[in-house]
Homo-oligomer: A and B are copies of this chain.
């Protein structure tokens, strides 16, 4: 089993957590004979932008296309506007490769405590399926009357039947495989009166094909509140691009923080490479200190193994992470410890070799 991976460490803490991710891949190769990863590291980041005026070479997407997988750290630096680093690197990859599913588990790992007073491990175990190619992140819109009191900016939300159906079908088929057989769809059709009623209609249509799945449509405001008050209700939560983005950061917060939460950008048809990344950003405030939590990046590798249909290896990685958390001796500052990124990474690697 040979896989080629395009590795994009990115900016800030991206390269720091990526180092630990690459060590984990090596440990997997050495301890699980037969699987091999060929990694090529791309220096596409904000430094590259400052030098070349673009985030990646003109043939960047073409280059990536030939890899089996893409592994991303985090992108963004103080000198470069966010909408450039994101719109010239992350979003083009998600779109060009039809990674229309953004899968984000919300799961309280063993050894961790939720900040929610009355919620424990059994209450916090669901997955968010986020639409990843259209909706509120449309790139369509502009400004008028600049420099006058009448200036205005318009941004279009664009929801296609094509894009909406495929994400809902994926979410429903995932719900079929889960124990609770429950799907919750985020909407805001009371306030947003064209795109969201359209979304609701398609939810109801796709629901028809899955009569065994209990479906709830909740407005995003209420749903965000329910993440706090009744997370135990959720199994598969499906949401548009923006709503999924908000819900998954919130999801990360209720299971211990952004340093832990992984993200898989999946092309389910496997026509194009899928991309794995932490949810967190490049965190300029702690970059260079060597104290970033590498778990989100390493967990994203476990999602990668699931995508490759290597569930045993996926479990080895998750067990290693959870064992380190249960031991509680080698933790980064965000988890209340004083270990470095590298020390936490080494400890996870040690657990992998022991397994």
Question: Footprint of B on A, CB under 8 Å?
Answer: 76, 81-83, 85-87, 91, 113-118, 136-137, 139-143, 148-162, 188-199, 219-222, 224-229, 241-242, 245-246, 248-250, 252-254, 257-258, 281
Taking a contact as CB atoms under 8 Å apart, the answer to whether A225 and B258 are in contact is yes
Contact of A225 among B142, B221, B249 (CB under 8 A): B249
- A117→B108 CA distance, assembly (Å): 15
CB distance from A14 to the nearest CB of B (A): 15
Say how many copies of this protein the assembly contains.
2
Jot down 15 A-B pairs with beta carbons below 8 A, ordered by A: A82-B219, A87-B193, A141-B193, A149-B161, A150-B162, A152-B159, A153-B195, A154-B158, A191-B245, A192-B242, A220-B246, A221-B248, A222-B249, A224-B253, A225-B252
Contacting residues, chain B, for A188 (C-beta < 8 A): 242, 245
Taking a contact as CB atoms under 8 Å apart, the answer to whether A76 and B190 are in contact is yes
CB distance from A299 to the nearest CB of B (A): 17
Residue of B nearest to A226 (CB): B253
Taking a contact as CB atoms under 8 Å apart, the answer to whether B194 and A141 are in contact is yes
**Closest A-B pairs by Cβ, 9 of them:** A82-B190, A141-B194, A153-B198, A221-B249, A225-B253, A155-B195, A228-B253, A151-B161, A117-B117
Contact of A150 among B81, B161, B241 (CB under 8 A): B161
Contacting residues, chain B, for A156 (C-beta < 8 A): 141, 154-157
Contacting residues, chain B, for A151 (C-beta < 8 A): 160-161, 198
CB distance from A306 to the nearest CB of B (A): 24
Taking a contact as CB atoms under 8 Å apart, the answer to whether A191 and B137 are in contact is yes
Residue of B nearest to A229 (CB): B253
